[in-house]
A and B are shown apart, each in its own frame.
Chain A
Amino acid sequence: MEHIVIIGNGIAGITAARHIRKRSDKRITVISAESDHFFSRTALMYVYMGHMTYEHLKPYEDWFWEKNRIELKKARVEKIDFKEKMLCFSLGEPMKYDTLVLATGSMPNKFGWEGQDLKGVQGLVSLQDLELLEENTQNCRKAVMVGGGLIGVEMAEMLRTRKIEVTFLVRENGFWANVLPQHDAQLISEHISSHGVDLRHNTTLDKILADENGRARGVITSDGEEIQCDLVGLCTGVTPNIEFLRNTELDTDKGILVDQYLQTNIPDVYAIGDCAQQRTPIGLRKPVEAVWYTGRMMGETLGQTLTGNKIPYKPGNWFNSAKFFDIEYQTYGWVHTSPGEKEQHLHWVHKERDKLITVAFDPSTNLFLGINTYGIRMRHEVFDRWLNEGKSIQHVLANLKEANFDPEFYRRYEKEIFNSFKENLQQPQL
């Protein structure tokens, strides 16, 4: 029987395993050094905040794996012999495979700062990082977070629940401004500050200072300011976790290079999730997408391919979501940070500044390009359809009600949004 071995039990690897099992009887082994069972990485913050326990992060009960004949192995893969199709572990017997799926995920970026490996300096990606954070925040009064992205804001929220003072260094002039349009980014910056976070724009980390025990005691910012702290959170993005695959015959760049079938340059070896890099970029997407949803979709696709239904990875319309303290964010289609000639933005902000809609469209054709929505839930299905059907900005605005996904009895803002946008559309060049 064909033996499929998957390295990594994150969303990509586990989705692949489940879909392979759904469609076939092949032997499946999932290997991970991080945890015994699959857990939802995106929810690590809720364990620290006391909303949930680690047990709650497991989407499947422990009996699920045996019942579905998905073998789990907790081990660290040291080396892969691609010729012999053999995995070598740091401990124990090697393992043969017929088909190998690399789903090794990513690890926090470090940019060679002075002091980046001190005690009390950490990122937040793995279960071990969470345990480390629990340890590092004992007797911690003040933290400095570096990097204005999703992990950064989550970590700031986590620390604030324990009343730890947080200074947040953000390179851009607004939170996550390399992804969000400036207008949106500023609103989120305001919201983060309102939660008692000392948010510093246009500021980066220069170096981390050590105390006599080799622990971080403070940082020096790009402005030359020294900030005392007990914890430094490095949240400047992630990078594919493929160190152990460098200098092998596997083609790598930033990540493991794959074709549209998620296949690497070696036969029977595939890569999915955060660690995979598309040789040919798909649409406007980046070649490496470290996003929960894309990991899941690659797993779904590869599950088909490995069970006889060979299909290319074809993610549909871009979508994503996050939460910044109390503001939920969803995006469908593309809303670029600096729209060029071919993209124009309309903004609507609620007067309490906790709800915002940004719509992108092509001013020459009126084609709807994408939407960012904050504090108002929108229906994925509807936007997916509108994007596929190439609806106009007018159509989207007139039918926005259809896309609303807010709970019952919530106030509706479609009329207000429509009127605000109608005015703006009539006088272009805002």
Chain B
Amino acid sequence: MSKLEHNMSITGDTPGGLSKTQRLASGIGMLGLFILLLAIANVNFPNKTLFLVLSITLITVGTIIFTNDAYRGKHPGIKNDGVWFRSMTARGFWAWITGITLTLFYIVLYWYPEYLGLNSDGANTGIIALFDPLSRFISGYPASQWFVYGTLYTLAILVFGYKFILKYRHNNYEILRTFSVMFFQLGFAFLIPEILIRLNQPYFNPANLWPLNYDFFAGYKMEGFFSAGTIGLLMFGFGIVSIFVISPILTYKYGKRWYCSWVCGCGGLAETAGDPYRHLSDKSNFAWKVERWVIHSVLVFVVVMTIAVIYSFLLENPSDSWFTKDVFLWLSAGFLTLIFALIMIFKREQLAKDAKYGAIGYLVIILAIISLNYLSGNYRIFFFDGHQLRAWYGFLIGAAFSGVIGVGFYPIFGNRVWCRFGCPMAAVLGMQQRLFSKFRITTNGGQCISCGNCSTYCEMGIDVRAYAQKGENIVRSSCVGCGICSAVCPRGVLKLENGPLKGRINSEEVLLGNDVDLLDLLNQKGE
């Protein structure tokens, strides 16, 4: 179907058009952004507090007016009208402009913060100086580029969260989930770490878990924790417990959604600011194959890197009683082998062939690297220095993948590129979800009409329809449980559920509604 381009005033409106109020609101928001732009261009505002407040207020007010005009006064319900006709949401001109602008912003943010006004000697200038008052107010220190980024990030989640809530106000699941990501971003990711700094404690975001937080085991971090006394130890302990105990338990009970679409900041931005782009994710089988290899490779990378970093940290403390680098390597190898063995013994029938080969391959690689280093006793762990490896990870995955591609390319590849292809945390939680979680998306008997709304609006690129039209429960490691498939289904076919593990993955030979007696037996085969 060709694009709609025939709005010549005498017709009714195109579904993609903006109303007058929406244009005005966009203008107000742009004015707020313009202040930021001037700051980037090194305009030195006389009263920084005033202009910062003005800028944030204008952006917020603009978004709220726009949202109210778009959704208020209309019936609650799904409103994706014209999404594919709009340049901004259908990979048109404005989408590319937005994508390129965001990408450039990320490049400057990560690699050239001096252009934003970060001065290693002397006071901040530019946009970073504009944020100094706010930073001093919260943490007592001048702003860094990360503070600027954190503030804008949080602002985006809050204002677009409001938009999301209004858009999906007929759906309580979406409302609660959005309040949750807004809360965790504002409280846990933004305020708590800054307040900890004010209290002279290490920077710590309790909601940012390893391996997403790949710095957690870095030498400087651990030293920070250990030198901060009881509170530091508590933070370190909480970090460890949340990785190995709390998160598997929550994932067992609720699926990975408790994290990916209720807590995580990356997910938070994707769900709110990224919502207009959710339909752009690639649903092809090919993309799924690429996704599985890439995301698990990132996970392997982060595991190897973490082992290397901890190893080198231990090296610097040779007096540390029994916990030597050798013991650590043995423990790591043992732990990985144990997990691998448990999966292969109890869950192997749930794995596809390529998943099994992949797992075996990766285990062999990791164990080979570990034994090589153990036998050689080389300081240059994993052929590279641990810190060098971390630097590479930080550059490739932490910055380029999660920021530049992950967010910069929202308007082109959809809003969950990072979560889908790159996030090692999503890979860990995904394995847990696939293998032992009670979560699944169920389908409603034979009611599917294969319309494809679910697949189109799945931000993780899952072909939901392929399961729904077979009457199969959807148990996919990538599913973040955003619930949009269920929301956009015009026949009420999909529902997110936590239930017993038995019969979690089922496939009926013949769908409900057709009485084919001989197949009753087949239908009971269960898991």
Contact = CB atoms under 8 A, between A and B. Distances in A.
B1 A317 contact: no
Contacts of B447: 293, 319, 321, 330, 380
A134 interface: yes
Interface in A14-50: 40, 42-43, 46-50
B512 A195 contact: no
Nearest to A165: B12
Interface string A129-158: 011001001111100000000000000000
Nearest to A19: B510
A351 to B, nearest CB: 15
A134 B4 CA distance: 9
Contacts of A140: 11-12
A410 B172 contact: yes
B491 A323 contact: yes
B349 interface: no
A139 B8 contact: yes
B492 A328 contact: yes
Interface in A330-384: 330, 377-381, 384
Nearest to B519: A304
Nearest to B455: A56
Given A314-B515, A323-B491, A407-B495, A50 B12 contact: no
Interface stretch (B73-81, B95-103, B200-208, B322-330): B73-81
B512 A380 contact: yes
B173 interface: yes
Contact of A40 (B83, B85, B451): B451
Interface string B263-282: 00000000000000001000
Given A42-B449, A53-B84, A141 B456 contact: no
Interface residues of B, number: 64
Contacts, number: 193
B81 A316 contact: no
Interface in B261-312: 279, 284-285
Contacts of A211: none
Contacts of B80: 49-51
A378 B11 CA distance: 40
B82 to A, nearest CB: 4
B171 interface: yes
Contact of B1 (A58, A131, A292, A378): A131
Contact of B513 (A161, A319, A323, A328): A319
A323 to B, nearest CB: 4
Interface in B474-527: 483, 486-487, 490-492, 495-497, 510-518
B75 A315 contact: no
A118 B13 CA distance: 25
A408 B446 contact: no
A162 interface: yes
A409 interface: yes
B452 interface: yes
A325 B74 CA distance: 12
Contacts of A86: none
B10 interface: yes
B507 to A, nearest CB: 12
Nearest to B469: A59
B513 A321 contact: no
Contacts of A384: 445, 512-513
B8 to A, nearest CB: 7
A49 B492 contact: no
A162 B451 CA distance: 21
Given A300-B514, A315-B513, A330-B447, A139 B82 contact: no
A11 interface: yes
Nearest to A411: B172
B6 interface: yes
Nearest to B14: A162
A316 B487 CA distance: 28
A296 B490 contact: no
A311 B14 CA distance: 50
Interface in B62-96: 75-78, 80-86
A54 interface: yes
Given A162-B14, A321-B447, 18 more contacts: A48-B1, A50-B81, A52-B279, A61-B285, A138-B6, A139-B8, A140-B11, A159-B12, A162-B12, A163-B12, A297-B511, A314-B514, A316-B512, A330-B491, A384-B445, A405-B495, A408-B172, A408-B497
Interface of B: 1-2, 4, 6, 8, 10-16, 75-78, 80-86, 170-173, 175-176, 279, 284-285, 444-447, 449-453, 455-456, 465-466, 469, 483, 486-487, 490-492, 495-497, 510-518
9 closest A-B pairs (Cβ-Cβ)?
A380-B445, A326-B77, A377-B492, A43-B451, A163-B12, A163-B13, A297-B514, A164-B12, A50-B82
24 contacts: A50-B83, A51-B84, A56-B452, A59-B465, A131-B1, A134-B4, A139-B6, A140-B11, A141-B11, A141-B12, A162-B11, A162-B12, A293-B446, A297-B446, A297-B514, A311-B517, A316-B513, A321-B447, A322-B491, A330-B491, A377-B444, A380-B445, A384-B513, A408-B483
